[in-house]
Amino acid sequence: MKFDNVLAERKNKVIYRDGDLAVKVFDESFPKSDILNEALNQARVEETGLNIPKIEEVTKIDGKWAIISTFVEGKTLQQLMDENPDKLDEYLELFVNVQMEILSKKCPLLKRLQDKMQSKISSTDLDATTRYELHTRLASMKRHDKVCHGDFNPSNIIITPDGTPFILDWSHATQGNGAADAARTYLLFCLKGEKELAEKYLKLFCEKTDTARQYVNAWMPIVAASQSVKGNPEEREFLLNWANVCDWQ
Ligand SMILES: Nc1ncnc2c1ncn2[C@@H]1O[C@H](COP(=O)(O)OP(=O)(O)O)[C@@H](O)[C@H]1O
Ligand SMILES: [Mg+2]
């Protein structure tokens, strides 16, 4: 296999381009079940008809697990936002449109968001009283079955030269309440230090989907707590602070 270039390098994985293919190679430390789950999620979401890279192969390269998908030509929405700050409003509009398109889909075999969050809350470092509060709150939230990306941020969208958006990175996909997905995106912007953009995003999401801001806010502590489980130490502290704020109404 000849790798033309490295598309992205992370702590425990590298994404290469190999001609028409994108090859995501995971370190030995990465749980096999997570890798296979990511590939299965991606294969399932492919069936919804959303524009996403197609799974071509799941294999081992030099002893490491790899997911091979079609390569999507273009720039990530993150790159475009960085390069053209004057077009931020236009890009944000596109960003929310893509999220709404995802949320319009059903994929009955994806894991349920409610179940995933339930077990994540149990694995946090939060005290029993806070966990109880979060579990109770989660149980009271409306159960939906919309496809939720789970890591919806501008680096997971590629815009092709003809302007078509493709959505990448389905490792956290679930089916559930779209407001939880919006809360996650809001927190992802905040974690990058982009509070202003986070606010702007959420305002637009609420307007376009006719969702009350309070409804998304009610998810914040739950989503923050569940996101804290795998985060690095600084992120964890930030998220656990949010998770402790149980009066997010
Ligand atoms: N199929 C693909 N086509 C083109 N670029 C890709 C593809 N898959 C990943 N990339 C590039 O690699 C980056 C990281 O890939 P991603 O699947 O989002 O991994 P991670 O889980 O590490 O965020 C993306 O932001 C994008 O720039
Ligand atoms: Mg990504």
Tell me: the pLDDT tens digits for 22-55? 999 999 999 999 999 999 999 999 999 999 999 9
- In this predicted structure, what is the pLDDT of residue 57? 98
Nearest CA to ligand 1 atom 11: 7
Is the confidence at residue 4, as pLDDT, over 80?
A: no
Ligand 2: distance of its center to the CA of 154 in Å? 9
Class assignment of domain 5-70? alpha beta
Cα of 171 vs centre of ligand 2, distance in Å, is 9
What sign has the CA pseudo-torsion 27, 30, 31, 37? negative
pLDDT band at 245 (very low <50, low <70, confident <90, very high): low
DSSP class of residue 142?
A: P
Note whether 169 and 156 are within 8 A (CB): yes
Nearest protein Cα to ligand 1, atom 22: 10
φ, ψ for residue 64, nearest 5 deg: -110, 140
pLDDT at residue 113 above 80? yes
When pLDDT is averaged across residues 184-200 and rounded to a whole number, the result is: 96
Name the closest ligand to CA 151. Answer: 2
What are the structure tokens assigned to 33, written together?
Answer: 């079940």
Q: In the chain, where are the structural domains located?
A: 5-70, 75-244
Q: What is the DSSP string of 154-199?
A: GGGEEE-TTS-EEE---TT-EEE-HHHHHHHHHHHHHHTT-HHHHH
Q: For residue 129, how far is its CA from the centre of ligand 2 (angstroms)?
A: 34
82 pLDDT above the threshold of 90: yes
pLDDT at site 232: 80
Range 75-244 classified under CATH 3.30.300.130? no
Joined tokens for residue 77: 């929405």
Rounded average pLDDT over 112-131: 95
b/e burial code for range 153-172 (CB count within 10 A of at least 16 → b): bbbbbbbeeeeebbbbbbbb
Q: Name the residue at shortest CA distance from atom 17 of ligand 1.
A: 169
Residues with CB under 6 A from ligand 1: 7-8, 10, 13, 15, 22, 24, 53, 69, 71-72, 76, 155-156, 158, 168-169
User: What spacing in Å lies between the alpha carbon of 20 and ligand 1's midpoint?
Assistant: 14
User: CB-based burial of residue 84 (10 Å sphere; 0-12 exposed, 13-18 middle, 19+ buried)?
Assistant: exposed
pLDDT band of residue 110 (cuts 50, 70, 90) is very high
For residue 248, is pLDDT > 60?
no
